[in-house]
């Protein structure tokens, strides 16, 4: 089919974001807004030379920012506005004249994934499965749109809304009523767009794009991407553009891919400008504009630099003999003599790996030849949504159907054969045939595999020809280093002498203040506090020591009546009371009998401006409640308000607060896994991922957050949500950590992402 089409070329690169660019919003013909994992929204405007320059940076989100929508200029926003949604669950409305927030829309429980405008209203979608309508800064409607995370929302010219979800469907909404469900995709629907005059475009994790009539009929399927498709957009000319994890923005016309624009990273978002130019958002932190107008194409030097950047990126990911090309030594390595005759060394020469052998007699390195490169990631074959070096067609014979066998060259073929035979429900007697088939078709006949390799399904040693198999009856599960987390973590160390000293200081201050003398402790109460601390110090008698009801009443009265700046040492005593068997029971009775004193305290200490000492002691006190199962119902009942109240601790520069918050999340993960609370698990997962991806979080806090993520994923209820949260990239970043335990739990999570 002849298609009249001009190739897009680079117009310009917009640099300024410090991390992945996640979202794009075209603001008329003169500006572009972009969102990023760096927590900012940037506005890029055309200057007098018709060049895009950074004109505003909008600061306010506390985690990565995703969807954006443009408000055209009106009486309220003379220069227009932007609406942004983030991982922090918030929606912000920004005035582009001042660069300030006009409204903070708070109500979603999890990440905000989509934003659409309906006259003066804002409609937002979220991983919490809901749509919310906001008017003048207030929520006016909320409804559950899907039973799984809602990933996108758009408004049709007719006034209806369309949503896409992790449940693989699209839904058409008239008000709060679903009038049609579109079924056809086999995985998460990630991106949506209106195709003028035709219908609705959808982009999916299944690698495809689809065009739907509003009636529900699928008009066209576009297949060409080799990984998740994150975004799709259309232009009045009839062109379609899509962005994918496969690093390409693809341009489509009449259902045919007419151009693939390669990027040095994942393409998160793609948008058309009014003039037909394309804007792309890339994981390398760069916004790029592409054009077919020869008058606007970048200078040749800039084009050459981009080509060089692409080549450098591909070279950094190119593998030779199982090693990254960039990790190979240069020719200077040949200056070092070999140690044995025939010793081989692979060095980098240009963009290739070349093997040399040591000639002992002549004391020199002889060139053997170029090492065959392993397949590049973008050319690897896709099977069940995962890329492999090889996907073989296996004919078992005997009239049985052809089977697909995926394989990576770094895998142990015995392990792969055993797993594949079990998966395909085939006899283990085929094992040797499968292993030999793999070795012959990958050219690995001369490679020796470790006979002590342990099969992840059976726990047995790998089969080796000529040796017996040692199959065991162990559970067929892979093993992980740090997940799942079992049991609860508590803060059980206390400086009791320092606590009493601080209470004494505060009491003296109250006694000297005529207006507050009535709040001070009597000598009897001071003595009683000393006796309480003495019991807490004597841990060897916890099984037999008791508290009086009046002891608990004294502590709770102090928390209620003392000035807020003075209550933290009292909260610290309560933190330790929770760990005492008798004290914990007495305290629990007060929670049930009275107007919930602990919720009252949490609200009091988390109101701005917060006092770090209050935050630290109270979050640790709540964390210690997980030690005793009698508090589990209370912890689940107040889960949402507790996590919301202490959420500011995640971005605190105070490392102790970070660690306390990550411990609270980890304990909640263990509890909610046990109770199979999917909604609660989703909230904890979202908070833990936000903490795990923050580069400023210290090692122990990040480790506990990652363990929480891995444990929740292993349990299974929220694994798909985690994948939608881009957990794989977080795991890969953790794997690259210099800290061993962070790298290990990163590997655990990466392994989980590969399990179906």
CA 48 from chain center: how many Å? 40
- C-alpha closest to that of 19 among 235, 284, 207, 254: 284
- Note whether 67 and 23 are within 8 A (CB): yes
- C-alpha closest to that of 86 among 20, 150, 37: 37
Helix H or strand E encompassing 94: strand 90-95
d(CA 237, CA 466): 67
Strand order in the sheet with 150-155: 150-155, 161-165, 170-174, 177-182
The DSSP secondary structure of 110-155, one letter per residue, reads S-EEEEEEETTEEEEEETTSEEEEEETTEEEEEEE--SS-EEEEEE
Strand 364-370 to 352-359 pairing: antiparallel
**Residue 472: predicted pLDDT:** 35
Residue ranges of the chain with per-residue pLDDT less than 50: 1-3, 373-378, 398, 450-476
- Note whether 631 and 625 are within 8 A (CB): yes
SS3 16: coil
**Residue 376: predicted pLDDT:** 41
Query: Phi then psi for 171, rounded to 5 degrees?
Result: -130, 140
SS3 711: helix
CB atoms within 10 A of CB 239: 20
DSSP state of 454: B
- Note whether 547 and 576 are within 8 A (CB): no
**Residue 396: predicted pLDDT:** 57
Reported as a single tens digit per residue, the pLDDT across 106-165 is: 999 989 999 999 989 999 999 999 999 999 999 999 999 999 899 999 999 999 999 999
The DSSP secondary structure of 559-610, one letter per residue, reads HHHS-GGG-HHHHHHHHHHTTSHHHHHHHHHHHHHSS-HHHHHHHHHTSSSP
- C-alpha closest to that of 59 among 110, 117, 98: 98
- C-alpha closest to that of 351 among 322, 377, 314: 314
Helix H or strand E encompassing 510: helix 496-511
Alpha helices in 200-348 (DSSP H): 300-317
- Note whether 52 and 27 are within 8 A (CB): no
d(CA 396, CA 413): 17
- Note whether 422 and 385 are within 8 A (CB): no
Strand order in the sheet with 240-244: 229-234, 240-244, 248-253, 256-262
**Residue 401: predicted pLDDT:** 61
Which two structure tokens, joined as six digits, stand for 650? 């995640």
Beta bridge partners of 231: 243
- C-alpha closest to that of 683 among 659, 718, 634, 715: 718
**Residue 129: predicted pLDDT:** 92
d(CA 104, CA 537): 47
Report CA torsion sign: 21, 24, 27, 30: positive
Q: Which residues contact 269 (CB under 8 A, 6 or more apart)?
A: 21, 22, 23, 24, 230, 231, 243, 280, 281
Angle at 377 between CA 375 and CA 378, to 5 degrees: 105
Query: Residue with structure tokens 């003169």?
Result: 30
Which two structure tokens, joined as six digits, stand for 148? 């799984």
CB atoms within 10 A of CB 719: 18
Query: Residue with structure tokens 């012959």?
Result: 440
Reported as a single tens digit per residue, the pLDDT across 366-402 is: 877 766 544 344 455 666 556 677 888 776 554 556 6
**Residue 402: predicted pLDDT:** 67
């Amino acid at each position: 089919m002849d298609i009249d089409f001009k190739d897009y070329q680079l117009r310009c690169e917009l640099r300024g974001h410090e991390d992945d660019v996640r979202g794009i919003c075209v603001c008329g013909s003169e500006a572009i807004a972009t969102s990023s994992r760096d927590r900012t929204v940037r506005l890029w405007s055309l200057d007098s030379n018709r060049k895009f320059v950074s004109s505003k940076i909008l600061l306010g989100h506390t985690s990565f920012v995703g969807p954006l929508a443009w408000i055209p200029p009106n009486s309220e926003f003379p220069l227009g506005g932007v609406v942004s949604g983030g991982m922090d669950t918030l929606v912000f409305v920004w005035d582009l004249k001042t660069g300030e927030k006009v409204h903070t829309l708070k109500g979603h429980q999890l990440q905000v994934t989509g934003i659409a405008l309906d006259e003066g209203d804002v409609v937002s979608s979220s991983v919490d499965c809901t749509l919310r309508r906001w008017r003048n800064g207030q929520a006016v409607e909320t409804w559950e749109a899907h039973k799984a995370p809602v990933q996108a929302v758009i408004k049709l010219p007719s006034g209806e809304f369309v949503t896409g979800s992790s449940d693989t469907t699209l839904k058409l909404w008239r008000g709060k009523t679903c009038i049609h469900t579109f079924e056809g995709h086999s995985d998460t629907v990630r991106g949506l767009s209106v195709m003028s005059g035709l219908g609705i475009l959808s982009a999916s994790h299944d690698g495809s794009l689809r065009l739907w009539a509003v009636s529900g009929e699928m008009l066209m399927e576009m297949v060409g991407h080799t990984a998740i498709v994150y975004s799709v957009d259309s232009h009045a000319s009839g062109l379609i553009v899509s962005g994918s994890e496969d690093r390409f923005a693809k341009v489509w016309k009449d259902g045919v891919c007419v151009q693939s624009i390669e990027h040095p990273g994942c393409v998160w978002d793609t948008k058309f400008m009014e003039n037909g130019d394309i804007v792309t958002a890339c994981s390398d932190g760069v916004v790029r504009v592409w054009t077919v107008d020869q008058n606007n194409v970048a200078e040749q030097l800039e084009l050459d630099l981009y080509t060089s950047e692409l080549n450098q990126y591909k070279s950094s990911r190119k593998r030779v003999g199982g090693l990254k090309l960039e990790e190979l030594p240069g020719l200077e390595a040949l200056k070092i003599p070999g140690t044995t005759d025939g010793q081989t060394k692979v060095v980098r020469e240009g963009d290739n790996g070349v093997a040399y052998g040591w000639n002992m007699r002549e004391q020199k390195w002889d060139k053997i030849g170029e090492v065959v490169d392993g397949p590049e990631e973008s050319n690897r074959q896709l099977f069940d949504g995962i890329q492999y070096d090889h996907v073989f067609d296996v004919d078992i014979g005997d009239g049985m159907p052809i089977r697909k066998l995926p394989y990576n060259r770094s895998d142990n073929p015995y392990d792969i054969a055993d797993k594949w035979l079990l998966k395909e429900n085939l006899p283990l007697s085929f094992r040797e045939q499968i292993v030999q088939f793999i070795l012959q078709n990958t050219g690995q006949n001369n490679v020796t595999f470790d006979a002590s390799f342990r099969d992840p399904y059976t726990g047995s040693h790998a089969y080796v020809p000529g040796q017996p198999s040692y199959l065991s009856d162990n559970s067929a599960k892979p093993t992980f280093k740090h997940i799942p987390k079992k049991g609860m973590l508590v803060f059980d160390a206390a400086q009791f002498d320092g606590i009493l000293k601080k209470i004494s200081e505060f009491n003296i201050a109250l006694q000297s203040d005529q207006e507050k003398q009535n709040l001070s402790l009597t000598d009897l109460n001071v003595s009683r506090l000393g006796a309480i601390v003495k019991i807490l110090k004597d841990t060897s008698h916890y099984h037999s020591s008791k508290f009086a009801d009046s002891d608990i009443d004294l502590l709770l009265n102090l928390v209620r009546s003392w000035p807020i700046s003075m209550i933290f040492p009292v909260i610290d005593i309560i933190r330790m009371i929770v760990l005492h068997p008798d004290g914990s029971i007495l305290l629990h009775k007060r929670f049930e009998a009275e107007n919930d004193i602990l919720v009252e305290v949490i609200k009091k200490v988390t109101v701005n401006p917060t006092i770090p000492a209050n935050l630290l002691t109270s979050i640790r006190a709540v964390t210690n409640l997980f030690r005793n199962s009698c508090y589990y119902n209370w912890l689940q009942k107040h889960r949402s308000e507790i996590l919301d109240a202490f959420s500011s601790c995640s971005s605190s520069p105070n490392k102790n607060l970070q660690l306390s918050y990550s411990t609270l999340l980890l304990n909640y993960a263990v509890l909610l896994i046990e109770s199979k609370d999917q909604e609660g698990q989703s909230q904890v997962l979202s908070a833990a991922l936000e903490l795990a991806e923050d580069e400023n979080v210290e090692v122990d806090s990040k480790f506990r957050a990652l363990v929480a993520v891995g444990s929740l994923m292993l349990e299974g209820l929220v694994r798909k949500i985690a994948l939608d949260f881009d957990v794989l990239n977080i795991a890969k970043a953790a794997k690259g950590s210099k800290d061993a335990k962070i790298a290990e739990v990163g590997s655990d999570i990466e392994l989980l992402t590969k399990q179906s």
